[in-house]
A and B are shown apart, each in its own frame.
Chain A
Amino acid sequence: MKDEELLVTQLKNPDTQEQAFRNLMSLYKERLYWHIRKIVLSHDDTDDVLQNTFIKVFKNIHSFKQNSKLYSWMYRIATNEAITFINKKAKTKNLDISELQYKMADDLQDDHNYSGDEIQQLLQKAIVTLPQKQQLVFNMKYFDEMKYTDMSEVLETSVGALKASYFHAVKKIEQFLKSH
């Protein structure tokens, strides 16, 4: 039995699930954290979304059919949780999602958990101008250097479409950087 299959079996067994869950978090917490952080930008918001993601994984592990890899399934949950979080925040503040994201990128300069220089901050402002799906593709490829095949499983999109999406995202960001 593979490690991942064993982990899933242990997660589904009440006697072993707490320890298995700790192992699961230990394995994926940093990768998921950085994936979420690129979407919601602030540490505090990332912490909330990460905790909700792991709780959702724990509660729904019995419905995981192992049709995809465990980490792909968890990435998908994390992505959905992060986007849902942004949508709710935008609704609460009565803002359009793109307006909120630009504000979040602009607020980075006052964030004590952010130390990026001017060009790093400009890059974040460029990313939030992209459509939601292109943002995800760019972050997962550019920062996480994820393989297209793995991205395909997480985002449930064909590899070809992902490559095209990444190419368009890069062009738009370059254009943004040149014009600012």
Chain B
Amino acid sequence: MKNKDLNKIAPKLSVISLSKTGFEIPKNYFDTVEDAIIAKLKADNLQNKINSKTFKTPKNYFDSIENIVIAKLKAEVILDKNENLDTIPIDYFETLENKVISKIKATPRVISLRRKFIKYVAPIAIAASLLLVFVLNNTPATVTFDSIASSEIESWIDNGNIDIDALSIASLYPEIELNDEMYSNSLTNEEILDYLYEENFEDIIYEN
């Protein structure tokens, strides 16, 4: 774009003097700038030399550093794996209760008297069933514990075929409050059995 074109396109711009832009420089600046640059360059080089002499690395450091880093990384991975073995899953303790509760619900209800039943009633029942086997010797069918009804056992007890100690009964039902008299020898076996007869035997078992 020549000046005459500039006049047409930008008349205001074209009248601004190019010879006097207004930018001044300090006196003798261009005479001294070269020395200033050389001095700065030498200072930079000197600084670089000082830095390169001050900090040194062991011999072959850069040849071995890669292997050292890799070995360290591997060691850290192994360490992490071992640490993970001892750790527990996140939220383990928060979820533990629910897991336990759900397992408990899934398990069939166990009657707490089971052990007591086996310990005290089962021998009675077995004895009763053996007796029945001998009495009903003619019966060809096999008698099992399941095949004997509770009423038969009760009946067998009613007939005085068993001698149960009062203390054994008391220890079987600790939650039943007994009067002192009841522990005394004044109670006869018949009286105890009468009591048991009056009470629903199955209910007492299942309540416990």
Specify the main secondary structure of chain A where it touches its partner: helix
- Cα–Cα distance between A37 and B25 once the two chains are bound (Å): 10
Contact between A167 and B41 (Cβ–Cβ < 8 Å)? no
- Cα–Cα distance between A152 and B24 once the two chains are bound (Å): 29
Contact between B1 and A25 (Cβ–Cβ < 8 Å)? no
B residues in contact with A18, CB < 8 Å: 38
Q: Decide yes or no whether B75 CB sits under 8 A from chain A.
A: no
Q: Decide yes or no whether A96 CB sits under 8 A from chain B.
A: no
- Cα–Cα distance between A167 and B13 once the two chains are bound (Å): 13
Contact between B34 and A29 (Cβ–Cβ < 8 Å)? yes
Contact between A114 and B34 (Cβ–Cβ < 8 Å)? no
Stretch of B4-12, B96-104, B175-183 that contacts chain A:
B4-12
Q: Which residue of A lies closest to B22 (CB)?
A: A116
Q: Decide yes or no whether B115 CB sits under 8 A from chain A.
A: no
- Cα–Cα distance between A21 and B42 once the two chains are bound (Å): 13
Contact between A30 and B24 (Cβ–Cβ < 8 Å)? no
Specify the main secondary structure of chain B where it touches its partner: helix
Interface band, chain B: 20 to 34
Contact between B23 and A114 (Cβ–Cβ < 8 Å)? yes
Q: Which residue of A lies closest to B44 (CB)?
A: A55
- Cα–Cα distance between A170 and B40 once the two chains are bound (Å): 39
Contact between A170 and B21 (Cβ–Cβ < 8 Å)? no
Interface band, chain A: 35 or more
Nearest Cβ distance between residue A32 and chain B, in whole angstroms?
A: 10
Q: Which residue of A lies closest to B11 (CB)?
A: A174
- Cα–Cα distance between A51 and B38 once the two chains are bound (Å): 9
* Contact among B10, B20, B29, B41 with A174 in the assembled complex (CB-CB below 8 Å): B10
Q: Decide yes or no whether A93 CB sits under 8 A from chain B.
A: no
Contact between B40 and A55 (Cβ–Cβ < 8 Å)? yes
Contact between B16 and A119 (Cβ–Cβ < 8 Å)? yes
Chain B: residues with CB nearer than 8 A to chain A?
A: 1, 6, 9-13, 16-18, 20-26, 29-30, 33-34, 36-38, 40-41, 44
**Additional A-B contacts beyond A34-B23, A113-B24 (19; CB < 8 A):** A22-B38, A26-B34, A29-B33, A50-B37, A54-B37, A55-B37, A58-B41, A115-B22, A117-B22, A119-B16, A120-B17, A120-B20, A166-B1, A171-B10, A173-B10, A173-B13, A174-B12, A177-B12, A178-B12
Q: Pull 19 A–B residue pairs with CB atoms less than 8 Å apart, ordered by A.
A: A21-B38, A25-B34, A26-B34, A29-B30, A30-B30, A33-B33, A43-B26, A43-B29, A50-B33, A55-B41, A113-B23, A116-B22, A120-B16, A120-B17, A123-B13, A163-B1, A167-B9, A170-B6, A174-B11
10 tightest Cβ-Cβ pairs between the two chains A and B: A116-B22, A174-B10, A177-B12, A120-B22, A113-B24, A25-B34, A54-B37, A170-B10, A51-B37, A115-B22
